Amino acid sequence: MMPNMSSAEVIGMKDTAAPLASGLEGVVVAETRLSEVDGERGRLTLAGHDVEELAGDGEVTFEDVCGLLWGGALPSAAEREALRGAIAEGRVRAFALLDRLGDALAARDGMDALRAAVAHLGGGAPAAIAGAIATFAAAWSRRAAGEAPVAPDPALRLSADYLRMARGAAASEAEARELDTYLVTVSDHGMNASTFAARVVTSTGSDAISAVVAAIGALKGPLHGGAPGPVLDMLDAIGEAAGEGGAPPAGGAERWIQAELAAGRRIMGMGHRIYRVRDPRAAVLERAIERLARTAGGVRGARLALARAVERAAEAALRARHPDRPLRANVEFYTAVLLDALGLPRSLFSPTFAVGRVAGWCAHIDEQRRVGRLIRPSSRYIGGVRPRVDTPQGGLI
Choice from 327, 338, 341, 358 touching ligand COA (CB under 6 A): 327
Nearer to ligand COA, 175 or 279 (CB): 279
**Edge-to-edge strand order for the sheet containing 43-46?**
35-38, 43-46, 49-50
Q: Which residue from 30, 105, 19 is spatially nearest to 364, judged by alpha carbons? A: 30
Choice from 325, 343, 381, 387 touching ligand COA (CB under 6 A): 325
Measured between alpha carbons, how far is 186 from 336 in angstroms, rounded to an integer? Answer: 13
Backbone phi and psi for residue 46, each to the nearest 5 degrees, phi listed first: -110, 110
Nearer to ligand COA, 160 or 234 (CB): 234
The stretches of the chain forming alpha helices (DSSP H) are 51-55, 62-71, 77-97, 110-119, 126-144, 158-167, 173-185, 193-203, 208-219, 228-239, 252-262, 280-296, 299-321, 331-341, 349-371
254, 286, 332, 364: the active-site residue: 332
Q: Contact between 322 and ligand COA (CB under 6 A)?
A: yes
Give me the 65-104 binding string for ligand COA, x by CB under 6 A, dash otherwise.
Answer: ----------------------------------------
Q: Contact between 330 and ligand COA (CB under 6 A)?
A: yes
Which residue type, as a one-letter code, is found at position 383? G
Stretch that binds ligand COA, among 58-66, 193-201, 265-273, 291-299 (CB under 6 A): 265-273
Q: Contact between 354 and ligand COA (CB under 6 A)?
A: no
Choice from 331, 341, 363, 365 touching ligand COA (CB under 6 A): 331
Which residues, 6 or more positions from 265, have their beta carbon under 8 angstroms from its beta carbon? none
Q: Which residue from 84, 29, 339, 65 is spatially nearest to 185, judged by alpha carbons? A: 65
Q: Contact between 271 and ligand COA (CB under 6 A)?
A: yes
Backbone phi and psi for residue 280, each to the nearest 5 degrees, phi listed first: -60, -25
Stretch that binds ligand COA, among 14-22, 142-150, 266-274, 373-381 (CB under 6 A): 266-274
Choice from 49, 80, 93, 273 touching ligand COA (CB under 6 A): 273
Question: Given CA atoms 238, 244, 246, 249 in this order, what sign does their dihedral have?
Answer: negative
State the Rg of the chain over Cα.
23
Nearer to ligand COA, 23 or 205 (CB): 23
Measured between alpha carbons, how far is 208 from 361 in angstroms, rounded to an integer? Answer: 9
Is 332 one of the catalytic residues? yes
Is 272 one of the catalytic residues? yes
Measured between alpha carbons, how far is 16 from 149 in angstroms, rounded to an integer? Answer: 56
Number of residues that bind ligand COA (CB under 6 A): 19
63, 178, 189, 272: the active-site residue: 272
For 232-278, give the DSSP string.
HHHHHHHHGGG-TTPPPPTTHHHHHHHHHHHTT---TTB--SS-SS-
Which residues, 6 or more positions from 31, have their beta carbon under 8 angstroms from its beta carbon? none
| Minimum separation from the CB atom of position 375 to ligand COA (A) | 20
Stretch that binds ligand COA, among 31-39, 151-159, 241-249, 318-326 (CB under 6 A): 318-326
Helix, strand, or coil here: 21? Answer: coil
Stretch that binds ligand COA, among 31-39, 47-55, 222-230, 354-362 (CB under 6 A): 222-230
| Minimum separation from the CB atom of position 355 to ligand COA (A) | 17
Stretch that binds ligand COA, among 81-89, 132-140, 147-155, 270-278 (CB under 6 A): 270-278
Q: Contact between 332 and ligand COA (CB under 6 A)?
A: yes
Within positions 107 to 146, which residues make up the interface with ligand COA, using CB under 6 A? none
Q: Which residue is nearest to ligand COA (CB)?
A: 271
Cite the active site residues.
272, 332
List residues binding ligand COA (CB under 6 A). Answer: 23, 222-223, 227, 266-273, 318, 322, 325, 327, 330-332
